[in-house]
Amino acid sequence: MSTRLYSGRWRLVGATLLCMLLIFAGIGLGAHHVARRESDELFSARLATSARVLEALVAHQVSSATISRPLVIALPHELETDPSNLPRVYGHRYETKIAFQVWRDDGALLAKSASSPVEALAPLKAGFSEQMIDGVPWQVFALRSANVWVLTAEKDEVRQEMSHDIGMSILTPLAVGGVFMLIAVNLLLLRSMRPLAQLAARIAARKPESLEPLALPATPVELAPIITELNHLLDRIRAAFEREQRFLNAAAHEIRTPIAAVQLHMENALRAEGPQQLQTSLQCAMDGARRTSKLAEQLLALGRLTAGNDAEPLRRLSMPELCCEVIGAVEPLVARRGQSVGLDVQQPCHVLGEPTQLQRLLQNLIDNASTHGDPHGDIAVTLDVVDGSVLLGVANDGPPIPQAELAHIFTPYYRVPGAQSGGHGLGLAIVKEIVEQHQGHILVQTRANGQGTLVLVSLAAVA
């Protein structure tokens, strides 16, 4: 499966930029909405105030005046061409976007501003309204005083421009600050990710055989768990290599002796002076070959278990049935030694495990009990359930294992001093590996009567 590569730094910068754009867009819309509402209130109040001022200062005089055409309030001609929004000595160009009219009830236009058309800015109806005049939206306020109507108006673009200017005044500093913030975040990320580059460089510079722990002069808290787990992995790899090397060295040493013995007996058979001597040498060679075959089988089993190559899917197993199968298979071999095997099941029990491994476990326990037990003794296999665990016990007769040796009996190739010959020191090592792979526990102790050894294996019970 291919791995997709990406830059965490650029992903974070891009995500930050997207978040900033969304935030700024929200701020801009909010600012525009607030500015528009405030400008509407401000300009509407100004329109109303202007209308009242006109009504108070002009309307009565104009209504009583006798003029044949309306009075036009002219504006300085400079305002028509001035592109600046700054106040001038002659006024402000926004005056061209503000208009007023004074009408009599009979429809006579008494006065108007130069920026106002000759038609009524709005129907003669008191209050605010929005009108389209020559395709341009205007905000109009109408005020009645006796038989005179005062209309004040301004172009809607004034309010739009104010809202735009307020919004830009808010967004521009934010946008500039955002750009600087992105640059700062990028620089901080470059500095913060420097330990990652250092770690990658140290790993790349290592020799393949180097398994020493990784270390950095200064390690970020976020990177520390990765380095810790890498060092734990290196420790496990080093332990696996050491275990494999010990395994190979011990295997070479252990298998050399039986092969040399077989070779010696074969040479004796070739130099035999009679049928009896030939038969004895061949029989010894055959026994040595069997021991070598058994050792090779146990070496392969331990190697597969340690490497995890002998794994099968876990199944729900009936321990009484499994014990019966194994006892039935080994009983002829045990009987040949003058021993017997008995099974005592206290109650039905099941475990979740690999059939082949659990069969090998019990077979090794019985074989070990037979090898180190009395030649004509009994081997007792028991099954019970205690506190949610299945207890498998295998006991033999004979001298118990000294307490000082109990800590070493699970070490591969270890043999208890003074024990009967015939074993290779791998049986209990294989048993312990199988128990650990099934998350169980194993205990070796002396039997209650002081004669013989009891091995107890505890495995989790399932319904």
Tell me if domain 8-171 and domain 224-303 are identical in fold: no
Residue ranges of domains in the chain: 8-171, 224-303, 312-460
Our separate counts of H helices and E strands in the chain read: 10, 13
The token duo for 42 is 């401000």
The token duo for 130 is 């929005």
Characterize the bridge pairing of strands 136-145 and 127-133.
antiparallel
Q: Is the dihedral of CA 200, 201, 204, 210 positive or negative?
A: negative
* 326 burial level (CB within 10 Å; 0-12, 13-18, 19+): buried
Characterize the bridge pairing of strands 350-353 and 441-446.
unpaired
Q: According to the model, what pLDDT value does residue 16 have?
A: 76
- The CA-based diameter of the chain, rounded to the nearest angstrom, is 165
Q: Which residue shows structure tokens 């206290």?
A: 346
Answer yes or no: are the C-beta atoms of 126 and 142 closer than 8 Å: yes
Q: According to the model, what pLDDT value does residue 395 have?
A: 93
Q: Which amino acid is at 365?
A: L
The token duo for 371 is 């090898």
Q: According to the model, what pLDDT value does residue 81 have?
A: 64
Residue 26 Cα to chain centre, angstroms? 32
Instruction: Show Cβ contacts of residue 409 under 8 Å, excluding neighbours closer than 6 positions.
Output: 401, 416, 428, 444
- List the end-to-end C-alpha distance of the chain, in Å, as a whole number: 39
Task: Summarize pLDDT for 308-350 with one digit per residue, the tens.
Answer: 555 667 889 999 999 999 998 888 888 888 899 999 998 999 9
Q: According to the model, what pLDDT value does residue 157 have?
A: 82
**Domain 312-460 listed as CATH 3.40.50.970:** no
Task: Summarize pLDDT for 235-262 with one digit per residue, the tens.
Answer: 888 887 776 776 666 566 556 666 777 7
Q: According to the model, what pLDDT value does residue 1 have?
A: 43
Q: Is the dihedral of CA 372, 376, 377, 382 positive or negative?
A: positive
Nearest Cα neighbor of 33 from 139, 159, 127, 153 is 159
Residue 268 Cα to chain centre, angstroms? 68
* 317 burial level (CB within 10 Å; 0-12, 13-18, 19+): buried
Q: According to the model, what pLDDT value does residue 104 have?
A: 85
**Domain 224-303 listed as CATH 1.10.260.40:** no
Below-70 pLDDT ranges, the chain: 1-9, 32, 34-68, 73-94, 243, 246-258, 291, 294-295, 297-312, 412-425
The token duo for 200 is 């990658």
Nearest Cα neighbor of 12 from 222, 195, 187 is 187
Cα dist. 417→80, 365, 404, 446, 455 in Å? Answer: 118, 19, 11, 17, 19
Q: According to the model, what pLDDT value does residue 425 have?
A: 65
Task: Summarize pLDDT for 261-311 with one digit per residue, the tens.
Answer: 778 878 888 888 888 888 888 888 887 777 677 667 666 666 666 665 556
Geometric angle at alpha carbon 254, from 355 and 406, rounded to 5° = 65
Residue 72 Cα to chain centre, angstroms? 78
Torsional class of 458: left (φ above 0), alpha (ψ -120 to 50), beta (otherwise)? beta
CATH topology of domain 8-171: Beta-Lactamase (3.30.450)
Q: Is the dihedral of CA 393, 397, 403, 404 positive or negative?
A: negative
Q: Which residue shows structure tokens 């009108």?
A: 131
